[in-house]
Each structure stands twice: as structure tokens, then as C-alpha cells.
Amino acid sequence: MLATLRKVLRYQMTIAEWIGLGIILGVPYLIVGAIWSSTHTEHLSGMHGADLAVSYLGSIVSWPVLLFSNVCMT
Amino acid sequence: MTRLSTADTRVSVNRRTARWDAGDDVTVSEAMDFWSFAAGAANVIMQLSRPEVGYGVVESKVDTGNLFKHPWKRARTTFQYLAVAIIGSDEDRAAFRAAVNGAHRHVKSTPESPVSYNAFDRELQMWVAACLFVGLEDTYQLLRGAMTAEQAEQFYRSAWTLGTTLQVTEDQWPPTRAEFDSYWNTACEQVVIDETIRGYLFDLVNLRMINPLLRLPFRPLLKFLTVGFLAPVFRQELGVHWTTTKQRRFEWLFLFVAFVNRFLPGFVRQGGSYLLLADVRRRARAHRMLV
């Protein structure tokens, strides 16, 4: 068990592989975020311009938090 | 019979991806990225184009290992053999050897067979192992770039377990990579594909053994990849054609795949082989059938 943990912890990846891993995990995350944000737009109703854009993009990035609590981003 | 040269017996590639690790040590285990299995059908064709191997497979009475009766099982055991031979321990190899021997015991020619064969024939096994090595060397260099002479030697030496996992002995492998070329060119003179074997191989490339819903979308791609991975001598025997346009597309495809592959973490590229190896170990512990 401990040996497996050590093996996992000393696993080496190239920078390219880290970038690739980021894309593999990041793309589905952002797609879910975009879908979630586009279907939960009540809080955007009173906003305009930069506030609206930042709030929308912010909800795409932070959708897991917004599932549980209604964080105010303004 | 005219002597064959490497130009006849190996695929030639004009444009390869650049190497990222110019002088590092290499082993055949780095060739296990899952894209390599794109050359799988071509490798089966190469192996079976030696008539003794071809008829050994086509006439085999071992139904549990029959590609057309149990295609997914056959795929699993074939890839597990590669995983055991290349990344397995000596213990894994001994267990798998015993299992394969059990199946191979039933594979010998009868008086009705057009050629005489025996699955324990070490020379035939050497041919099959040589095909596997050629396939891995080709795919590895398409994915990671050409090797230096020294790297090619290391890669070659590390691939011997492809044969020694069964009955091939170390002294059967030509001692150097250069001598392997002359072994391979001579061995390719025995390549003959008759109507029976050709029918079997076309059924394989046409994916006759799997569900039509899976078969239809993959068939054109598999055909393209398979003919692309066959050296001229095999293409000619099989009766398939290849053009410079297709060659260019093939090379561009692998330049792209090689680029994508650089960005995939090792556990994505090779995880499948480790899972298959873990499955072998689980089966061995539970005393279940390995093949």
C-alpha cells in the first residue's frame, strides 16, 4: 500500500504531458461550466457590460462551487 | 528467387517526427503506446504470410483462441502476450508460457495439411517474434522519431523477450541489429500467401468477426493503416495496392498522431497494457485460464 503510494508520488511527467493532462481534464470541466452557466442565468439579469461578462466567465470557471452556494461575484 | 533487400521487406518513411530525447537510452517498453496497435492487423498478416504459421492458425482446432469465434478474447490474449513479454516479470512470463503451451500442444499439422507445421517449432516462433519486433520498431519510430544506431541496438536487445517468453532461445536472435536485417530479408523469401490464407486475412481486415455497427465505421481506416504498415513484399503477396498519395497521407497522419502523443501522460498512452498485465496477474492468482 505504502509502496504503491510512493510509486505514485514519484511518477514523473514531462511538461508536455502536464499540458496534455490539463487539456484532458480542463476541456470537459469548462464544457460542463459553459452548459451550467448558460442554464443558470437568473443572477445576471441586472448586470451589464464588463460586470456581465466577468460574472458569466466566472461562473463557467467556478461552477462546482456555485452548485452548492450562491456566491456573489460583483 | 531474387534476394530481397530492406527496401522490399521494411516500410519506408520519408518524413518522421523529430526526436525529443536525442541521446537517451531506449527500451522496447516505450513502444507500447496504444497507437502502436494500429499496426496490429498488419502484423497478423506478416506472421501468417509464412505458410506454416498461416495454416497453423487457419486449421487450428483450439476454438477458444479462434479469432472469428471469440474475437474479443483473442484480442485480449494477444495484447496480454505483448504486455507480459515486454513489461511483465519473469514470473508472469513463466505463467503465460505454460498457458500458451497448453493451447499450442493442439496445433500441429495432419496428413491433410498442405504444409507441415508444429506450434512448438522454434524457427516459426522466431519468425513470429521477428514480425512483432518489426512492427514495434516501425510504430515506435513513427511516434517518437528515428533512433540512432546505438538506440536501435538497445531497443532491439530489449525486444528479445518477444520470442524468449515462449520457446525461442536468446541465441536464435541475430546478435546485432544489423544482423537482424539480413535474417529478416532472408526469412521474407519464404513469404507466400495462397487463396486460403488470403481469404482468412481479408476476413480479418474486413472485420468480419465483429458487430456491423462497429465494423463499418472502422473498416476503411483499418484497411488504410494495415496496408500502410505492410512492407512491399507483403503487399505484393497479399495483392493490395499502395500509392505515393496514400503514403504521404499515412506519414502526415502519423506526424499528427506523434504530436498529440507527446502531450499524453504515460498512464494514458500505456495504461491499457498495465491493466492487461494486472488482469493476467489476477487470473494467475485465482488459478483461472490465462488464454
Residues 6 or more apart whose CB falls under 8 angstroms from that of A59 comprise A33, A36, A37, A40, A66, A73
Digit-coded pLDDT (tens) for B76-110: 999 999 999 999 999 999 999 999 999 999 999 99
Please give, rounded to a whole number of angstroms, the shortest distance from the CA of B88 to a CA of chain A: 17
Digit-coded pLDDT (tens) for A25-56: 999 999 999 999 988 887 778 888 888 889 88
A34 exposure class (CB count in 10 Å sphere: 0-12, 13-18, 19+) = middle
- B263/A23 touch (CB, cutoff 8 Å), yes or no: yes
Q: Evaluate whether B224 touches B240 at the Cβ level (below 8 Å).
A: no
- Cα dihedral angle (B37, B38, B39, B43), rounded to 10 degrees? 60
Cβ-based contacts of A11 with chain B (< 8 Å): 266-267
pLDDT for the residue numbered A48? 83
pTM over 0.90, yes/no? yes
> Measured between alpha carbons, how far is B55 from B73 in angstroms, rounded to an integer?
21
> Measured between alpha carbons, how far is B83 from B29 in angstroms, rounded to an integer?
9
Kind plus residue range of the DSSP H or E element containing B26? none
Cβ-based contacts of A18 with chain B (< 8 Å): 265
Q: Evaluate whether B187 touches B131 at the Cβ level (below 8 Å).
A: no
Question: Cell 515506435 maps to which residue?
Answer: B140
**Taking CA atoms, what residue in B is nearest to A20?**
B263
> Measured between alpha carbons, how far is B181 from B161 in angstroms, rounded to an integer?
18
Q: Evaluate whether B51 touches B114 at the Cβ level (below 8 Å).
A: yes
**Taking CA atoms, what residue in B is nearest to A24?**
B264
Cβ-based contacts of A20 with chain B (< 8 Å): 262-265, 268
Cβ-based contacts of B268 with chain A (< 8 Å): 20, 24
Q: Which has the closest alpha carbon to B240: B217, B222, B255?
A: B222
Helix residue ranges per DSSP H, chain A: 2-9, 15-39, 49-61, 63-68
pLDDT for the residue numbered B265? 97
Q: Evaluate whether B277 touches B88 at the Cβ level (below 8 Å).
A: yes
pLDDT for the residue numbered B175? 97
**Taking CA atoms, what residue in B is nearest to A19?**
B263
Chain pair A-B, CB pairs under 8 angstroms: 23
pLDDT for the residue numbered A68? 83
- Residues of chain B with confidence (pLDDT) below 70: 1
pLDDT at A69 over 90: no
pLDDT for the residue numbered B52? 97
pLDDT for the residue numbered A71? 64
